[in-house]
């Protein structure tokens, strides 16, 4: 079986965003439960689940899902599905849930099979090690945060959200691994911001994470250059960057981000 690239569901995206911005804890899952769909998944929503009598339970640990590397997670061991209790139809996607009983719980992610497969009575399905790959690509998040999220979801290594975000701004373009250049003059300091739902309210299932309070830095005592991005730190760990309209920070400027100006989501 060739490799499959996964996609997170709306439910998973909401839970990890609320965990990260707002401090609404999403505890790690002790087990993940695998099944297949017999209709296509689309966007961030999974297709209709096949009528297995039980989902395949996989212990959520770093043996079955080794530590993420460069923002990518794979399965480290093969995944064995139970024999089909009857003719189930044509399997289209691999689905992952948070509960064992078919028809219940929340879908976490899905992987589209490289080719559809008809599952007849007593057929089993085997997913070889290294076949499933999932990542947070094309995003604003650092490699540190991507790895932490992936290990939280697949691996059960809890990422403890910061109680306070340290938010700065930089005058060049950050990358996944480099946070960019923050001003070294003009009394610049990162802004310590409480990480709670007062500042970052919970989102709707398909919503964006935003700020419900204005963010305001110290008045600049000298010109600091042109700010291009906000940069977010969990303690000293660089977590994310958010592009802003290029803004010259001159002497006496008071940098601000208006309420609801931030719009954060996951690809």
Q: Based on the domain organization, do 95 and 193 belong to the same domain?
A: no
Domain assignment present for residue 79? The answer is yes
The pLDDT value given to residue 111: 97
Q: Based on the domain organization, do 225 and 107 belong to the same domain?
A: no
Give residue-wise pLDDT tens across range 73-85.
999 999 999 898 8
Instruction: Identify the domain containing residue 24 by its residue range.
Output: 4-137
The pLDDT value given to residue 1: 65
- What average pLDDT does this structure show over 167-176? 97
Q: Based on the domain organization, do 9 and 133 belong to the same domain?
A: yes
Q: Based on the domain organization, do 31 and 109 belong to the same domain?
A: yes
Q: Report the percent of the chain where pLDDT is more than 70.
A: 99
The pLDDT value given to residue 259: 97
Domain assignment present for residue 227? The answer is yes
The secondary structure of 220-267, three-state, reads CCCCCEEEEEEEEEECCEEEEEEEEEEEEECCCCCCEECCCCCCECCC
Last residue of some domain: 137, 156, 182?
137
Q: Based on the domain organization, do 180 and 247 belong to the same domain?
A: yes
What residues are paired with 110 via a beta bridge?
Answer: 7, 95
CA-wise closest residue to 202 among 20, 22, 27: 22
Domain assignment present for residue 150? The answer is no
Domain assignment present for residue 184? The answer is yes
- Tell me: pLDDT of 2 over 90: no
CA-wise closest residue to 223 among 267, 176, 187: 187
The pLDDT value given to residue 236: 96
Q: Based on the domain organization, do 102 and 185 belong to the same domain?
A: no
Q: What is the gyration radius of the CA atoms in the chain, in angstroms? A: 21
Where residue 211 falls among pLDDT bands split at 50, 70, 90? Answer: very high
Domain assignment present for residue 147? The answer is no
100 SS3 class: coil
The pLDDT value given to residue 100: 96
- Tell me: pLDDT of 137 over 80: no
What is the number of domains present in the chain? 2
Domain assignment present for residue 118? The answer is yes
157 vs 136, higher pLDDT: 157
The whole-model pTM stands at 0.96
The pLDDT value given to residue 154: 98
Count CB-CB contacts under 10 A for residue 243.
11
């Amino acid at each position: 079986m060739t490799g499959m690239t996964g996609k997170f569901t709306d439910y998973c995206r909401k839970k990890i965003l609320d965990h990260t911005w707002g401090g609404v804890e999403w505890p790690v899952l002790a087990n993940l439960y695998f099944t297949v769909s017999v209709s296509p998944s689309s966007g961030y929503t999974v297709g209709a689940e096949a009528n297995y009598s039980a989902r395949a339970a996989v212990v959520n640990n770093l043996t079955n899902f080794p530590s993420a590397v460069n923002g990518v997670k794979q399965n480290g061991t093969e995944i064995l599905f139970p024999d089909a209790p009857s003719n189930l139809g044509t399997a289209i996607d691999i689905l992952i849930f948070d509960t064992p009983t078919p028809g219940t719980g929340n879908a976490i992610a899905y992987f589209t099979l490289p080719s559809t497969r008809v599952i007849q009575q007593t057929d089993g399905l085997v997913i070889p090690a290294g076949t499933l790959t999932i990542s947070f690509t094309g995003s604003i998040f650092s490699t540190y945060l991507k790895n932490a999220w992936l290990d939280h979801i697949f691996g059960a290594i809890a990422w403890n959200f910061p109680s306070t975000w340290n938010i700065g701004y930089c005058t060049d373009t950050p990358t996944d691994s480099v946070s960019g250049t923050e001003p070294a003059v003009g009394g610049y300091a990162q802004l310590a911001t409480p990480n709670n739902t007062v500042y970052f309210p919970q989102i709707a299932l398909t919503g964006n994470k935003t700020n419900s309070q204005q963010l305001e830095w110290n008045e600049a005592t000298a010109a600091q250059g042109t700010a291009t991005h906000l940069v977010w730190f969990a303690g000293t760990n660089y977590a994310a960057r958010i592009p802003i309209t290029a803004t010259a920070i001159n002497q006496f400027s008071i940098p601000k981000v208006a309420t609801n100006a931030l719009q954060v989501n996951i690809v």
